[in-house]
Structure 1
Amino acid sequence: MKLSAPLYYLKRKARLLSRKENIPLHTALDHIARQEGYSGWSLLMARASASTPAGKLFSLLAPGDLVLVGARPGQGKTLMSLELAVEAMKAGDRGMFFTLEYTERDILNRFHVIGAEWERFAGLFAFDCSDAISADHIMERLASAPRGTLVVIDYLQLLDQKRENPALAVQVRALKSFARDRGLIMVFISQIDRSYDPSRKPCPDIGDVRLPNPLDLTLFDKTCFLNNGEARFQAAS
């Protein structure tokens, strides 16, 4: 399918229209879809889903994987991660979203942005917006999660923000062991360092991950970096 601009740009355009015209986001999204020749946003997303970066990345994942999704702000890393959860649920598995950034309303709004029907996945999807999110909290919440559950953690650099939490490296190692033992897929949303210059290279890479505290990035099995509508996947080690 041919669109006038990348999906992330169309989504941003809809958000701006929603604020400017004081209309619901879903109305703005449908308006943008009609400009692209589709009757509504859900139809546009359905046609695009087969070739989405999330669909391609999900096909590369296996139970036990730790995945790093990194991008500068506004490039779609949260939407990509939520799309991965939707791909898992389409396959009959469960999705879990831990966030220190978003509210319940924010998350539900983003289901519409990515063209997913919340009602279809309500029994398979759960989210946690607790201020207590850490590796211990995540593992406790996932104690009974079935094999194949895709877990999104938003975001990596906030896990050890509280001084009482263990070091970031300790938490990621614990989550890696837990994911492998339980057969879970864990997706960590990551910030990119401000020094990254898109004029020098079109997409960030593992060397551009913002690390205020030490962390061995080879703990991640796969990575996905986004910029300006481009997605690049690779093994991290």
Structure 2
Amino acid sequence: MSGDTLPHDIGAEQALLGCMLAFAGAVGDAVELVAADQFYRPAHQTVFDVLVDMFADGQPTGTVAVVAELAVRGLLAKVGGHDYLHTLEASATTAANTGHFARIVVDRATRRRLVEAGIAVQQLGLGPGTDADDLVDRAQAAVFAVSERRQNDTACTAADLLPDLLATLETPLDGLQGVRTGIAGLDALTQGMRPGQLWLIGARPSVGKSTLALGIAAHTTIRQKIPAAYFSLEMPAGDLMTRLLAAEAGVSLRSLQNHTLSDAEWERIAYRIGPIRQAPLTIDDATTMTVAEIRSKVRRAHQRDGLGLVVVDYVQLLAADGKSENRQQAVAAMSIGLNALAQDLGIVVIAVVQLNRGSEGRADRRPLSSDIRDSGQLEQDAFGIVLLHREDMHDATSARAGEVELIVDKNRGGLRDTTSAVFQGHYARIVDMPAEWSEKAV
């Protein structure tokens, strides 16, 4: 397909630049709506860039000043000379039409990118490649990029970043930021899980890692109203909902499973059913899933719902994307994929991980990040790691029965420390430790 047949509107580009040259306030309005690479004609991209630079420096942005700046930069002849700049100015109507022309420019740029994405998808389908899932993931990524409002260069200088940082520092924080776990001690250590971060929750079997992960998803969606997706490779969606209902309503998990609820339990369920029903939580219980498939599903959900949290329970049950020489390489690729998913979409990803038997050989049996099964890549890629330890799993007579230690063993954004909570298995939840328990533990 030739360049001239791609969607574009030269008249709208000229009118937009004309407004920016003729009306000083129009430059700021245009910058909010359009980027240089959305202009079809290269000369127009150059004029726009110079206008934005001059506006940012507080210089006049009239035609005479822009002509002089283009001449200094040796670009005047390349954009058509001063006569063309005056032609652009003459095409201006009123400042009020800046947004109208900007939207036309953005629309045509989006259409061009859609055509380009279609060509890229066609080439993927016709080209070499043995892994269809990977090709589908790459194709969806190409189409997803079209929906992004801008695709500017993400590189920034220190001078670019400082003004926003200083302005942010002047604004006091209103409590914790990002995704909260609902457990005060853990939130104090994490200070909220932020967009773009990959967190791991690890423990030996039956210690409570899925309970914690589901509790975080419930707290995020029910109390923070942040949309979340929970990918459960081990437990059916119905069982997860049963556990969530037990935790939220404070009713016996066994009573729910055996259908032997008392009248009082029915009342507690009735009280909590509304908030649970309204929670923006989706659960996917496909037993066989790859990271590519998860990324594909998350992209669609993020586009539709604006996801803030994704939980994968658990990583070692994921199927490998393509062929790997060994399981460690496969899990390493999964880790890289999940970390990229968090950063690309600006969401929190929590990956539940199984630990090996390393902790069982230590005197205190407390787990370490190095106990994560199958791959050191997970430990390396994670922004933070939370490990669970319950003393009563090893000593039924322990004075700390019912207590679960939440060990923040890695935290790039804050403290590494241990906090305690209460494991209420009969309610399928982990909750804050009462003050009297904390005093006894000391």
TM-score, normalising length: structure 1: 0.69
RMSD: 2.8
Matched, 1:130 2:289: no
Q: CA-to-partner distance for each residue in 1:64-93, whole Å, 9 max, x for gaps?
A: 111110111111100100111122212121
Q: Work out whether residues 332 and 377 of structure 2, in 8 Å CA contact, stay in contact via their aligned partners in 1.
A: yes
Q: Which moved more, 1:218-227 or 1:189-198?
A: 189-198
How far apart are residue 129 of structure 1 and its match?
1.1
How far apart are residue 119 of structure 1 and its match?
4.4
Equivalent position SS for 2:357: coil
Q: CA-to-partner distance for each residue in 1:21-50, whole Å, 9 max, x for gaps?
A: xxxxxxxxxxxxxxxxxxxxxxxxxxxx96
Q: Work out whether residues 54 and 83 of structure 1, in 8 Å CA contact, stay in contact via their aligned partners in 2.
A: no
How far apart are residue 115 of structure 1 and its match?
2.2
Matched, 1:218 2:218: no
Identity of matched residues, %:
22
Q: Work out whether residues 228 and 282 of structure 2, in 8 Å CA contact, stay in contact via their aligned partners in 1.
A: yes
Decide which structure has greater helix share.
Answer: 2
- Look up the match of 1:23: none
Q: Work out whether residues 97 and 153 of structure 1, in 8 Å CA contact, stay in contact via their aligned partners in 2.
A: yes
Aligned length: 188
Matched, 1:192 2:355: yes
- The one-letter code sitting in structure 2 at the alignment partner of 1:80 is L
Q: Distance in 2 between matches of 1:175 and 1:94?
A: 18
Matched, 1:109 2:242: yes
Relative distance call for 1:61 and 1:107 in structure 2 (3 A) is same
Within 5 Å, which residues of 2 pair with 1:63-142? 63-89=195-221, 90-115=223-248, 117=272, 119-123=274-278, 124-142=280-298
- The one-letter code sitting in structure 2 at the alignment partner of 1:74 is S
- The one-letter code sitting in structure 2 at the alignment partner of 1:99 is S
- Look up the match of 2:313: 154
Q: Distance in 2 between matches of 1:202 and 1:113?
A: 30
- Look up the match of 1:44: none
- The one-letter code sitting in structure 1 at the alignment partner of 2:216 is L
Relative distance call for 1:172 and 1:84 in structure 2 (3 A) is same
Equivalent position SS for 1:195: helix
Equivalent position SS for 1:97: strand
Q: Work out whether residues 203 and 230 of structure 1, in 8 Å CA contact, stay in contact via their aligned partners in 2.
A: no
Within 5 Å, which residues of 2 pair with 1:157-176? 157-160=316-319, 167-176=330-339
Matched, 1:233 2:388: no
How far apart are residue 122 of structure 1 and its match?
3.6
Q: Work out whether residues 98 and 133 of structure 1, in 8 Å CA contact, stay in contact via their aligned partners in 2.
A: no
- The one-letter code sitting in structure 2 at the alignment partner of 1:157 is Q
Q: Which has the higher contact order (CA 8 A, sep 6+)?
A: 1
Unaligned runs of 5+ in 2: 1-180, 250-271, 391-403, 413-442
TM-score, normalising length: structure 2: 0.39
Q: CA-to-partner distance for each residue in 1:106-140, whole Å, 9 max, x for gaps?
A: 11111023226464244401111113311111111
Relative distance call for 1:56 and 1:118 in structure 2 (3 A) is farther
Q: Work out whether residues 65 and 186 of structure 1, in 8 Å CA contact, stay in contact via their aligned partners in 2.
A: yes
Relative distance call for 1:56 and 1:105 in structure 2 (3 A) is farther
Within 5 Å, which residues of 2 pair with 1:27-46? none
Q: Distance in 2 between matches of 1:57 and 1:97?
A: 24
Question: Which of structures 1 and 2 has the bigger CA Rg?
Answer: 2
Unaligned runs of 5+ in 1: 1-48
Q: Distance in 1 between matches of 2:185 and 2:213?
A: 10
